[in-house]
Structure 1
Amino acid sequence: MEHTLDLTHTWVGWGVLIIFVLGYILIATEEKWDMNKAKPALFIGTFSFMLIGVYYYVNSLDISPLHHQLKELIEEIAEIFFFLFVAMTYIESLIERGVFDALRYRLISRGYSYKKLFWITGSLAFWISPVADNLTTALILSTVLYTIDKTRTNFLVPGAINIVVAANAGGAWSPFGDITTLMAWTAGKGEIIDFLALFPASFLGWFLTAWLLGLFVPKGEPHFDVLTTPKGEIKKGGKVVIFLGFFTIFIAVFGHIVMHYPAMWGMMFGLSLLQLYAYYHKRKHKEQFNVFINMAKVENDTLLFFFGILSAVGALSFLGWLVYVVNLYDIVGDTVANIGVGFVSAIIDNVPVMAAILKADPQMGPDQWMLVTLTAGIGGSLISFGSAAGVGVMGRMRGIYTFNSHMKYGWAVLAGYVLSCAIWYVQFEMLGLY
């Protein structure tokens, strides 16, 4: 059932918008108030729909459209929620098996400088995310970064931003590297070759941001003493968990593309494989390997933040506020509007913004659809919680990678965003190379 009521200028429309803005301010200033971002996000998301329900009841409106919206929203949230949950469980299992400690030892024992480690983690994020998706990639590499040195914030913050930007940029030129690119691809807005044509804009935009951030990375190397530094070794079964992790990502992508399953279904199947292997490992090696214990270590605040923020955006969409985003096309034209989508997606969330644009279906050529795919994908990097990758890293590096620490270097991210858009214009509009 299609929802057609425009409730933006009713008391519930303005009320939900004000609640969203106030909640957004609390999320952005979580350090000042010492309040975890999940708390205001969960409140504004759930309370917004409670208010909408009251409005429908008071005005004796047909409640069916609201029920339909909630069911669709629950499905959307569940896909992301369980995808995140499995990815985090695998990461905690890898930590428990000593995989990241072993990787850390290898990196610092070779005498790599902070700057080289900065470039290694960023480069890996860019090249892995087109295959493994930006969220999983950012979670894994931020964990690697954090295990290298947990105290040098002047290394960790630029490194975390670099990973987030690289993961989002890497996902933008792959049809299944990001949720928004996947949405555009499955909607038939471009062929695989069209998405691959975004590589120059994605790569050079990230490279400029990384180069600017690299100027602030300290010189020297992480402390390493062969006698005092614990030699990280992968425990029994650790390599099997690594294989299962990559296999789980493959199954999730394969199932989504070939059988059109939600990506979380493949992830949950991968979780079942991990559980079965843990049971086999315990029986064979008589060693404790309990996946449920690893689940308990998952950052639940990150999961609840996603639930809240997607619910809040869903409420804004239901009331009609996201229509104004689409109206940009009639006012300023396709190119300017699509570039502006990047800034909007950083504030609101790229998934519902892209969904709103696809639903409105403005008449655009493949070049413009590739631009909005690019900007929606990399625009989330402009703010720390503007993308799934950023939210994941905030949870992984709590108290270090925050809204404020990200915005300190926001100008570097903006420079890369502008360059990506400029390269798109030269390549697609001036040269027609796509």
Structure 2
Amino acid sequence: MTVPVADSAAINFVGHPFGWLLLAIFIVGYYFIASEEKYHIDKAKPALFIGTLMFILIGLYYVSVGADLTPFEHEVDHMILEIAEIFFFLFVAMTYIEALIERGVFSALRAKLIAKGYSYRELFWITGTLAFFISPVADNLTTALILSTVLLTIDNKTKEFLVPSAINVVVAANAGGAWSPFGDITTLMVWAAEKGAFVDFLYLFPASFIGWAVTAYLLSRYVPDLDPNKDGDPEAAEKIEILKGGKVIIAFGALTIALAVAGKQIIHLPPMWGMLFGLAILQLYMYFLKQKHNVDVSIFQAMSKIENNTLLFFFGILAAVGALHFTGFLAYAAKLYEMFDPTIVNIGVGFLSAIVDNVPVMSAVLKASPAIDHAQWMLVTMTAGIGGSLISFGSAAGVGVMGKMAGIYTFASHIKLAWTVLIGYIVSLAVWYFQFVFLGFY
């Protein structure tokens, strides 16, 4: 069987041995991504390998058969732009986190919480609530990294507290991010693809909040109701303060998010543009601290501590999905919406997001671009975001927390309590159906 040489259109490799080779590479690579704990290989390595390899092989095939490379070049250019928007958005957010860590913001937050005499269970609810309401502003990955850092500064040994709290933070960050256009990478992608206006995502708040609250309640039963600071000194903890410039950096972080939103809404710049402008402001402020107050906070030192493996994982996996789209495989995803009720398919997207990671799944849905109405686009936005919490590596937040809490928050530790997330997921679906379908309120 041969693939026809096309002069102006991409070659469809579905059903051709070369196409099946590409699909096999993707499947094998994803097996190693999912088996990170078994083989002790960081998921960024196989993701980056298959993402880059698949396009190299496609390019070589085009050359070998004498096909026009124009469609291939256009696809690569478009994919680089798409990935860059996400990559730089996360890069800036992570840089701000590391700068805040260096200025002692999270140590001070931890000290204040400890000084208040909260129990493990109360801290569980506080960190979860913060995650839910911060993620719509700071995105789910950034929020999960912030709150997992706080958890570790509270107690880095007691797994009875850390594991349920880590799951709670991941679920809360994903649920909070689902009702904001820049609260999750998937919602950012849907917003950037103009499948919904800014305010449209806000209607997902009831389903997101109630679903998370149910999961949090179930998880809280596993958290010991004990004092985490039996041997500590609350008065000494209360004296820990944020270092000079820390509060200003918090304000600049909020300004940066506002710039990203305003830039997108008013002058149609990609959100990463506002984020990078915010990074420039941060750099200038650090220069000011050095010159006026002799406080040396190196922006490059903050950047050096970024979880680069997380960023590379997203680059690799989005490139791999892009390769499957370019070769014709994702066209079949759109057919599912023609064969079955879109609601059923979108619910299934949530479960698939948990297994394959919600970012590539949403990327696949957007590239397939099925003919579904606005309510269904909001449903798939919610299911991809919340469904990604079902498994530890099913979302950006989960991947980030696994990296931050290595050896504590793992696939195995998450899966033991995954039933609580499933119940919350089902509740969120019920609330969505009642609001969007029964009441028609959206």
What TM-score does the superposition give when structure 2 sets the normalisation length?
A: 0.91
Instruction: Tell me by how many angstroms 1:91 deviates.
Output: 1.0
Query: Which of residues 71, 74, 81 in structure 2 aligns to 1:68?
Result: 74
The aligned residue for residue 370 of structure 1 is 378
Q: 2:143 and 2:51 mapped to 1: Cα distance?
A: 27
The aligned residue for residue 148 of structure 2 is 142
- Distance change in 2, residues 1:354/1:300 (3 Å): closer
List per-residue Cα deviations over 1:205-249 (Å, max 9, x = no partner): 111111122122223121252189665321111111111111111
List per-residue Cα deviations over 1:353-405 (Å, max 9, x = no partner): 44554455444333323222221222222232322222222232233223333
Q: 2:95 and 2:60 mapped to 1: Cα distance?
A: 38
- Distance change in 2, residues 1:193/1:94 (3 Å): closer
1:291 aligns with 2:299: yes
The aligned residue for residue 351 of structure 2 is 343
- Whether contact under 8 Å (1:29, 1:403) holds in the other structure is no
- Larger mean Cα displacement after TM superposition, 102-111 or 232-241: 232-241
- Distance change in 2, residues 1:294/1:360 (3 Å): closer
- Distance change in 2, residues 1:191/1:53 (3 Å): closer
1:14 aligns with 2:15: no
Query: Which of residues 209, 213, 216 in structure 2 aligns to 1:210?
Result: 216
Which residues in structure 2 correspond to 1:78-89 (within 5 Å)? 78-89=84-95
- Whether contact under 8 Å (2:166, 2:401) holds in the other structure is yes
List per-residue Cα deviations over 1:183-209 (Å, max 9, x = no partner): 545655455564333222111111111
1:272 aligns with 2:307: no
SS at match of 1:198: helix
List per-residue Cα deviations over 1:288-332 (Å, max 9, x = no partner): 221211211112211211111111111122122222222211222
- Larger mean Cα displacement after TM superposition, 351-360 or 97-106: 351-360
- Larger mean Cα displacement after TM superposition, 358-367 or 96-105: 358-367
- Whether contact under 8 Å (2:192, 2:270) holds in the other structure is no
Instruction: Tell me by how many angstroms 1:336 deviates.
Output: 0.7
Query: Which of residues 410, 423, 432 in structure 1 aligns to 2:431?
Result: 423
The aligned residue for residue 55 of structure 1 is 61
Q: 2:17 and 2:161 mapped to 1: Cα distance?
A: 47
- Whether contact under 8 Å (1:28, 1:403) holds in the other structure is no
1:178 aligns with 2:184: yes
Instruction: Tell me by how many angstroms 1:55 deviates.
Output: 2.1
Instruction: Tell me by how many angstroms 1:266 deviates.
Output: 1.3
Which residues in structure 2 correspond to 1:244-263 (within 5 Å)? 244-263=252-271
- Distance change in 2, residues 1:28/1:179 (3 Å): closer
Q: 1:185 and 1:23 mapped to 2: Cα distance?
A: 29
Query: Which of residues 397, 400, 403 in structure 2 aligns to 1:395?
Result: 403
The aligned residue for residue 244 of structure 2 is 236
1:77 aligns with 2:83: yes
Q: 1:289 and 1:199 mapped to 2: Cα distance?
A: 38
Q: 1:399 and 1:263 mapped to 2: Cα distance?
A: 34
- Distance change in 2, residues 1:11/1:153 (3 Å): farther
Q: 1:3 and 1:234 mapped to 2: Cα distance?
A: 58
1:318 aligns with 2:329: no
The aligned residue for residue 3 of structure 2 is none
The aligned residue for residue 4 of structure 2 is none
Instruction: Tell me by how many angstroms 1:28 deviates.
Output: 1.8
Instruction: Tell me by how many angstroms 1:100 deviates.
Output: 0.7
Which residues in structure 2 correspond to 1:3-42 (within 5 Å)? 4-42=10-48
Gapped regions of structure 1 (runs ≥ 5):
none
- Whether contact under 8 Å (2:330, 2:368) holds in the other structure is no
Instruction: In structure 1, give the amino acid aligned to 2:407.
Output: G
Instruction: In structure 1, give the amino acid aligned to 2:131.
Output: A
The aligned residue for residue 225 of structure 1 is 232
The aligned residue for residue 99 of structure 1 is 105
- Whether contact under 8 Å (1:180, 1:351) holds in the other structure is yes
- Whether contact under 8 Å (1:204, 1:419) holds in the other structure is yes
List per-residue Cα deviations over 1:15-59 (Å, max 9, x = no partner): 222222222221222222221111111111111112212222222
Instruction: Tell me by how many angstroms 1:118 deviates.
Output: 0.9
Q: 2:400 and 2:250 mapped to 1: Cα distance?
A: 20
The aligned residue for residue 123 of structure 2 is 117
1:386 aligns with 2:394: yes
The aligned residue for residue 151 of structure 1 is 157
Query: Which of residues 304, 310, 316 in structure 2 aligns to 1:308?
Result: 316
Q: 2:145 and 2:8 mapped to 1: Cα distance?
A: 37
- Whether contact under 8 Å (1:198, 1:370) holds in the other structure is yes
Q: 1:150 and 1:213 mapped to 2: Cα distance?
A: 19
The aligned residue for residue 416 of structure 2 is 408
Instruction: Tell me by how many angstroms 1:89 deviates.
Output: 1.2
- Distance change in 2, residues 1:295/1:368 (3 Å): closer
SS at match of 1:279: helix
Q: Give aligned-pair identity as a percent.
A: 63
Q: 2:91 and 2:185 mapped to 1: Cα distance?
A: 16
- Larger mean Cα displacement after TM superposition, 57-66 or 390-399: 390-399
- Distance change in 2, residues 1:153/1:325 (3 Å): farther
What TM-score does the superposition give when structure 1 sets the normalisation length?
A: 0.92
Give the paired residue count. 434
Instruction: In structure 1, give the amino acid aligned to 2:311.
Output: L
Instruction: In structure 2, give the amino acid aligned to 1:169.
Output: A
Q: 1:311 and 1:142 mapped to 2: Cα distance?
A: 28
- Whether contact under 8 Å (1:313, 1:348) holds in the other structure is no
Q: 1:133 and 1:321 mapped to 2: Cα distance?
A: 30
Instruction: In structure 2, give the amino acid aligned to 1:170.
Output: G
